[in-house]
Amino acid sequence: MENNQIGFIGGGNMARSLIGGLLQNAWPATQIYVADPNPDQGSLLHQINPNISLCSTNQSAAKSANILVFAVKPQMLQSIARELADTVQQHKPLIVSIAAGIHAADIDRWLGSGLAVVRCMPNTPALVQSGATGLFANQHTRTPQKELAERLLRSVGMTVWLKDERQLDTVTALSGSGPAYFFLVIEAMQNAAEQLGLSAETARVLSIETAFGAAKLALESNDKIATLRERVTSKGGTTEEALRILENGDLRGLFYNAMKGAEERAEELAKQLGKDSL
């Protein structure tokens, strides 16, 4: 594994978080190559480690890479992949895509076909090494290549493998978009606490720490989430009253509808972005 060269097409936030995670897990900086047209991204990368190689072209980053990571906007992926098809066909690296909504078959086709492609759906907490990533490997991906992809994404959090690529749309709706749901809940709790008389800073700190503590307790407990909720809920107490109001507002139904909408939108985008350009 230590002899693998990894090339990044795109050096934005998610790419930098992955690179930072790799470096923390003893991946040599001299074996990391990044192509990004924005010189500011290169400056940020060299602040992480000056031994990272900055490439002037996508071909330079791809030509000797055993692992090639596409960390670009989904709308850009088709043109970049077609541009790199001849280069990657020469040595057939493992392709890892973190571009949302692009099917593995489309990526493989644009790159000339016959390549190992792993699609990933990481989320923004990867920026603080607390990400949750769903992965799907196409039929050309061998076990050692899956292990490499998992090593890459586990450097910034936990990973789960999916057998059906369609499940990535659900993962997108759950963990991909999910941080925004929790931010909205924290924001709503903070706003309510301020309206009830707390200062903005006190409401902010208590809201964030309560969310963090609840998540940490859930992660470290072997009990079901429902059991943890029930333990906080005393009969006839304050929590029971608050939960009654939330349930009467159909909170569960709202979350289902929200996630279903996000899943359907992911499916729509996959169809749109997977079409070949005329």
The CATH architecture assigned to 178-267 reads Orthogonal Bundle (1.10)
Could you tell me the residue ranges of all domains in the chain?
A: 6-168, 178-267
Cα–Cα distance between 88 and 112 in angstroms, integer? 8
Residue 1 — pLDDT band, cuts 50, 70, 90? very low
Q: Domain 6-168 has what CATH class?
A: alpha beta
Range in 13-17, 144-148, 211-215, 272-276 the model is least confident about: 272-276
Return the pLDDT at 271: 87
The 10s digit of each residue's pLDDT in 78-88 is 999 999 999 99
- What region does 247 belong to: left with phi over 0, alpha with psi -120 to 50, or beta? alpha
Return the pLDDT at 227: 98
Residue 2 — pLDDT band, cuts 50, 70, 90? low
Burial class (CB in 10 A: 0-12, 13-18, 19+), 226: exposed
* SS3 label, residue 95: strand
Return the pLDDT at 243: 98
User: What type of residue sits at position 164?
Assistant: D
Query: 231 or 4: which carries more pLDDT confidence?
Result: 231
The 10s digit of each residue's pLDDT in 70-80 is 999 999 999 99
Return the pLDDT at 277: 64
Cα–Cα distance between 191 and 205 in angstroms, integer? 12
Please report, rounded to a whole number, the percentage of residues in the chain having pLDDT higher than 70. Answer: 99
**Distance of CA 1 to CAs 27, 145, 186, Å?**
9, 10, 41
pLDDT beyond 80 at 220: yes
Residue 154 — pLDDT band, cuts 50, 70, 90? very high
In 3D space, the residue among 72, 6, 13 whose CA is nearest the CA of residue 40 turns out to be 13
Q: State the average pLDDT over residues 88-94.
A: 95
Return the pLDDT at 274: 83
Residue 275 — pLDDT band, cuts 50, 70, 90? confident
pLDDT beyond 90 at 4: no
